[in-house]
Structures are given as C-alpha cells and as structure tokens.
Amino acid sequence: MPSGPPTSGVGRVIAGRYLLLNQLGSGGMGHVWLAHDQRLACEVALKEIVFRDPSEASAERAARVARARAEARHAAVLRGNPNVVTVHDVLEHEGLPWIVMEYVAGALDLRDLVDMRGPLAPAECARIGLAVLDALTAGHEQGIMHRDVKPANILLAPDRTGAPYARVLLADYGIAVQPDAGETRYTLTSALVGTAGYLAPERATGGPPTAAADLFSLGCTLYYAVEGVGPFERDTHLAEITAVVMEEPRKPERAGALGPVLEVMLAKDPVERITAAHAESALDHIVTPRADAYERTRTDPGSMPPWGVSEQLDGHRHVPPRAVHAPTDPAAYPPVPVPPVPRRPHALPAGLGALLGVALAGVGLWFTLGNPPGGDDGGTVQKPYGEPVGLAAPLSEGDCVIADWPGGTRFRGTPRLTVDPTCRDAPPDGQVLAVVDAASADEARAQGPARCEERTRDLREKLADVRGYAVVPAEGGFDAAGGRTACLLLGANGPVYGPLGPYREPGQAFRDTATMQKRDCLRAPSRRDAQLVPCTEAHDEQVLGFARLDVGIPFEKARDMSDAACAKDVPPTDYGFDPSVYEAGSWTSRGAWDSASHFVVCTVRKQNGGTMGGEEP
C-alpha cells in the first residue's frame, strides 16, 4: 500500500473508499490526486479543497466549498459529452467536499504540451479548438458558461488506439455559472473570476459571463497553442488585464490560416466577435481544407466518424479519432474564408454563403447544393436547385432522397437527387429533416446553411453517421423552390436504410443500425431483430451511444467483442444504471465493416434478461 508522511496525503482513505496514490497537480482550489476506488477496483481522480490559511474568513471558505459543489453539478450536467472531464460524484470528508472525477490516463494539459513540444501546427490547434468549442457549446446550450478557458484547463490524452493527444477534454468547471439560473457567482474577495490574459474585455471590466466571453478565452488559448505565447502576455497580471481591455493582440507569426480566425475570435466588442457556429466552420476548414486532403477529426459524442450500413443487424461510446497529420508550415495552408460578423442578426451579407456552404454539422460538413450566383443558369433556371441537382419540384420535410454522386465518390461534387416517396423502395441516402424560409435568394445562400445546422443539431447529436447538406435554391430557381432551403441529413458512408428521427414509427423494425439513435428504446425478440418502441412501454434495451473498433477486426470477431467495447467506452454506470442490475449490450452492422467504419451501437439491458421501463434513470 502506498505510504508517505502524514502531511503528504498519500495512503489516506477518503470517505472509506478512495485510497490516495499520488498527487497529480495543484491549483487555486486545491490538489488533484490519483486515487484507487476500492469498491469498483478502478482508478479515479479526486479534487481536494485546500485552505492554506487557517484564519481564512468563514464566508470565503463557504464560497470555496460552494464553488466545488457547483463544479460537480455543472460538469455532471455535461457528463455525456466526450470533450468534458466526467464527474462521477461529490462527497464530504472531514467536513470538506471532494470531487470524484474521471482519471484520464496519460493526459497532458495544453500548456505543458506547448512547453514540452513548442508551438503546435495550425491544423492541430484547429482540431483542439473544434473539440473544446463542442464542449463549450454543450454547456452554453444548458446555460452554463465555463469562465476559465485556458491552456491549463485543456487536457490531451491518448485515445483507445494509443494515438497520443487524440482525446481533447475541457476540465475545471469550478467557476462556471448559469447566469439565467439566479445562482450565486462564487468569486473570491478582491479577485477577478478567470485568468488574467485570457479574460474577455467585457469580463475584465465587470460584465456578465456570456458564451461570447468563453469564445474570446478560447481564441486566446488557441493563439497560445500556435504561437507559444499568449496574445496579451505581460510581466504582471495587472498589465495583462490592461492589455486585454486596451490593446490589440500581438500580430501572430506562426498561425497561418488560423490567423484570420483568431482575429475575429479576439474582437474586443462581443457584438463584433465571431459566433460559435461560424468559428466551428472556419476551424473545420483549416483541419480539412479540401474534402480529400485530410481525415476529419471532430470529436462530438453524438456525431461520430463514419460507420456503415447494411440490412444485417447483430445485437450483442464516442472514441475520438486520431490526430490529424497535416502540414506544420503555415504557408502550406490556403487562406481560410472567415465570415464578417453581422451587426444585425437578420441581415447577413450574401458573401457568407461561400463559408457557410462548408459549415460544420455533426461528423461531417455542411455543403450547399445549387448553382452559385453568376453560374451558367443566368437567372433563367426553372429547376429549384439547378441542373446539377436535377429536381423539378422543391423538397419537403420528410422526403427521402437517393443521391447519385459524380464519379461514385461520396461527398465529392454535387449529387443528383431523386425523391423516394416511400423511404423503402430503395435504401435512401438521407432525408429532409427541415426546410427554412428566406426573403431572397441572397438571404437563402447567406443564412440557409447556418439555419439548417441549427434546425438539425439535436438529431445530428443523436446519430453516429450523418452529414448535413443545405440544398439552397439556385439563382433563378428561388421562386420554384418556394423560397426555401432544404436541410438534408445524409449517411456519411452509405444509405441510411429508412426514415430518420421523428419520421420513424413506433414498432418499426430496424433494417440497419444506421437509424438507431441515442436514447432509443428497443424491443429485441432476437439478437438479429430490433424494433423501435416508446420508452414508456416495456422494452429490452436502450441506446446509450456508440463505440469504434479497430479497422483490422473482421465482422465476425466484432460481434464477439462489441459488448466488451461498449462496457468500456459507454459504461451504463455513467448514465446512472446500477451495475448490479444492468449490463452493456451492443448492435453491430455488417455495413459498418464493409465500409471500414467499424462503429457499433452501445445499449444498456438487464442482466437477467428482463424488460425495462418506468424505473430506469
């Protein structure tokens, strides 16, 4: 058993369960320990609240304790996001709170990585930025602002394949706040909440925490990652805060294509600052400047990299992809279009269409179909989306489509679309999930893709293998399209084999795992037959997430090991299921192996094979 001096903490048992092994680090709130959970026989990280001054005012002590509880509560809300360090529990020991967290083996924070390796390549910084932005957006959607985004709070760790620094996790929600919830802002006396040099100007001058402020801090963090120094780094904290408010950031020297994105992330006025959706698009453009240039590296829990389709099911979490291997010379990157920030939310310039046509959506990109202004159609086209798309009538919500890609390569070029009114006659490639109106063709081009991204966000986060397409009216086809942009979700690697989301019917049998989504409840008469049922009814399993197996594993072997993979990557205990009652299950599809995607659907089920319903978390 580890031992040490009484004051070291090593060898102590916290709450009769957690054996402290060694100290991992320290911060303003206290120490972080590696501990052994003696009940579950696994390693966890424990955050200890430390009061260095015995005479510290009781009110200030209470504020520290409240901040610890708030961190646990806020991080627990986001526990389903793979880019947030998971919080398992908050407990009291000897009158003080301890936070029990996921132990991220082999993790290194971004600050230490830059210190060790030097500045990172622009594409690697953009990949990290996408993951952190995904975590922040998940919090913002719950009304939770992080308020302390900085290099030391971003962890980089190996993924399941061992690729170093492939996992990206945002840590330390200790000063996070929900502005609309009326909760106390836990601020230490005479101290700013946040870190000097990374605070947004409006926060440094006493303004409220906002999503835009977190985005500014992320911009400072990415600047540090690519330049090796902060944009407002000075000799003292006071000088840094002054620089944040009064001075422009240092001109970047290594940022290359990332430079224009950083510039609009670091705008002093939050109204002029780039939005999260536009920042995602611009960062993604750096990671994959051409459709066939580099592997996609988004790490979103409900938007995994591609996994395939087939009509064979087999029932038996999110694994971030490997780091991108991209040029390290900034000059190797083409210029990245960065959208101007609109002063009025409904008056976006038409020039945004070029960038928003590749706006990020789940695991894939947002593409814009239809002829751009000045195309060959010259305003005389009668087909709503232009000749390449080929449709003679506008798309409607719920339409299933077949996509014929030029040259047979998916997501390269403009596909010719055919509507399948039954969603069954042929395996559909995708479905129209929404349509968005516009007042003009210019407005449709400028705003359509971003609005499609918003309208389909929830469903994209629940599916493992879709990409978004905004089918925008062609010039001259605006009236024929009814002034509407059609928001498609297409299978990333093949057909979706049936309706998606709200267009599925209770009782329908799944032809493939491609249409299974998070929190679906399944009746499974056999291990090759799954039916969608309402979760209020008796069911056999519930979908929790997805996992990826190694590319070289054959399908037959995958069926044997998928349960174990799901138990490791998407453990039901993380979702509140009692491990003495429930176990991990899985469903596999041959199509996922035929397309080399190798994703499985992870479920929870009762160990005794009984039905679920009503009493589950």
Give me the DSSP letters along 392-441.
SS---TT-EEEEE-GGG-TTSSPPEEEEETTS-SS--SEEEEEEEE-SSH
Q: Which domains does the chain have, with CATH numbers?
A: 13-102 (3.30.200.20), 108-185+192-287 (1.10.510.10), 339-501 (no CATH), 518-606 (no CATH)
Q: Is the pLDDT of residue 43 over 70?
A: yes
Local confidence band at 262 (pLDDT 50, 70, 90 cut-offs): very high
Residue 419 pLDDT:
93
How much is the mean pLDDT over the chain? 77
Mean local confidence (pLDDT), 258-278: 94
Q: At what angle do helices 211-227 and 276-287 cross, to 10 degrees?
A: 20
Assess whether pLDDT exceeds 60 at residue 184.
no
Contacts (Cβ under 8 Å, ≥6 apart) of 211: 136, 140, 145, 276
Alpha-carbon distance of 475 to 445, in angstroms, equals: 10
Q: What is the pLDDT of residues 459-499, one digit of tens each?
A: 888 888 888 888 999 888 999 999 999 999 998 888 888 89
pLDDT of 200 reads 94
What pLDDT, on the 0 to 100 scale, is given for residue 586?
A: 93
Q: Mean pLDDT across the stretch 389-400?
A: 93
Given this model, what pLDDT does residue 171 score? 86
In this predicted model, which residue has the larger pLDDT, 359 or 137? 137
| Residue among 363, 419, 425, 364 nearest 389 (CA) | 419
User: Could you give the CA distance from residue 533 to residue 512 in angstroms, rounded to a whole number?
Assistant: 16
What is the C-alpha separation between 231 and 220, in angstroms, rounded?
6
Q: Which residues does 115 contact at the CB level (< 8 Å), separation at least 6?
A: none
Weakest-pLDDT range from 120-124, 359-363, 394-398: 359-363
* 349 pLDDT above the threshold of 70: no
- Listed range (14-23, 24-33, 437-446) with the worst mean pLDDT: 24-33
Q: Which two tokens stand for residue 379?
A: 């305003």
Q: In the structure, what pLDDT confidence band is assigned to residue 65 with cuts at 50, 70 and 90?
A: low
Q: Which of 109, 134, 148, 314 is catalytic?
A: 148
Distance between CA atoms of residues 591 and 324, nearest Å: 25
pLDDT of residue 72: 63
What is the spatial distance between Cα 486 and Cα 366, in angstroms, rounded to a whole number? 12
51-60, 174-183, 516-525, 588-597, range with greatest mean pLDDT: 516-525
221 φ/ψ sector (left φ>0, alpha ψ -120 to 50, else beta): alpha
Q: Is the pLDDT of residue 222 over 90?
A: yes
pLDDT at position 533: 93
Question: Cβ(11)–Cβ(3) under 8 Å?
Answer: yes
pLDDT band at 593 (very low <50, low <70, confident <90, very high): confident
Output the CA torsion sign for 392, 398, 404, 405. positive
Check whether 75 has a pLDDT greater than 70. Answer: no
pLDDT band, residue 193 (cuts 50/70/90): low
Share of the chain above pLDDT 90, in %: 34
Mean pLDDT across 540-564:
87
**Segment 595-602 mean pLDDT:** 80
User: Which pLDDT band holds residue 61 (cuts at 50, 70, 90)?
Assistant: low
Q: Do 100 and 33 contact (CB within 8 A), yes or no?
A: no
Structure tokens that stand for 467 in this block = 């990409």
CA distances from 310 to 30, 188, 352, 504, 548 (A): 52, 57, 38, 18, 17
User: Is 47 annotated for ligand binding?
Assistant: yes
% of the chain with per-residue pLDDT over 70: 74
Per-residue pLDDT for 13 more than 50? yes
pLDDT of 83 > 70? The answer is yes
Cα Rg of the chain (Å, integer): 25
Q: What is the pTM of this model?
A: 0.48
101: buried, middle or exposed (CB in 10 Å: 19+, 13-18, 0-12)? buried
Annotated catalytic, 442? no
Distance (Å, rounded) from C-alpha 497 to C-alpha 423? 8
Which burial class, exposed, middle or buried, applies to 569 when counting CB atoms under 10 A from its CB (0-12, 13-18, 19+)?
Answer: buried
